[in-house]
């Protein structure tokens, strides 16, 4: 259904706008400018909405391409409890094995989806 597809594309664009807003705030507060770095911004995604990533991805990548907050983004699915993130925020010295607790499902470089995977429960 084209109407539903456009709703999901819009939702993907909104997610990208939110991400860019967070990065702009981070840049302002911490002085880190991801636009000038040739590094990936790693984002851990939680929630059932990402089970529909195949419907969200087009709007997300178009929005990332149209803005300048970040050039490279990697999206990860959290494989462990969300409590790990809360514990890490509470104790910045807590060492966590990032690679063990996440799975890469999307990589965008300069607005182009270079790696895309389907999320499953």
Which residues is 72 bridged to in the sheet? Answer: 109
Do the Cβ atoms of 106 and 53 come closer than 8 Å?
A: yes
pLDDT tens for 48-94 read 888 888 899 889 888 888 876 777 888 998 888 888 878 888 888 88
Contact 112, 106 (CB under 8 A): no
Residue 78's region, left for phi above 0, alpha for psi from -120 to 50, else beta, is beta
- Joined together, the tokens standing for residue 35 give 């636009």
**Measuring CA to CA, which residue among 85, 102, 103 is closest to residue 94?**
85
Q: What are phi and psi of 7, to 5 degrees?
A: -65, -45
Band the pLDDT of 117: cuts 50, 70, 90. low
Does the pLDDT at position 121 exceed 50?
Answer: no
Average pLDDT over residues 30-53: 80
* Entry pTM: 0.77
Q: Which of 46, 40, 48 is nearest to 23 (CA)?
A: 40
Beta strands in 1-121 (DSSP E): 41-45, 72-78, 102-109, 112-116
- Retrieve residue 94's tokens: 């807590």
């Amino acid at each position: 259904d084209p109407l539903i597809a456009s709703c999901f594309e819009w939702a993907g664009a909104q997610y990208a706008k939110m991400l860019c807003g967070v990065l702009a705030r981070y840049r302002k507060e911490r002085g880190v400018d991801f636009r000038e770095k040739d590094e990936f911004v790693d984002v851990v995604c939680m929630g059932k909405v990402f089970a529909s990533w195949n419907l969200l991805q087009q709007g997300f990548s178009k929005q990332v391409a149209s803005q300048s907050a970040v050039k490279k983004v990697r999206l990860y699915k959290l494989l462990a409890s969300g409590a790990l993130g809360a514990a890490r925020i509470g104790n910045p010295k807590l060492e966590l094995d990032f690679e063990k607790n996440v799975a890469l499902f999307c990589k965008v470089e300069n607005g182009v989806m270079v790696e895309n995977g389907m999320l499953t429960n």
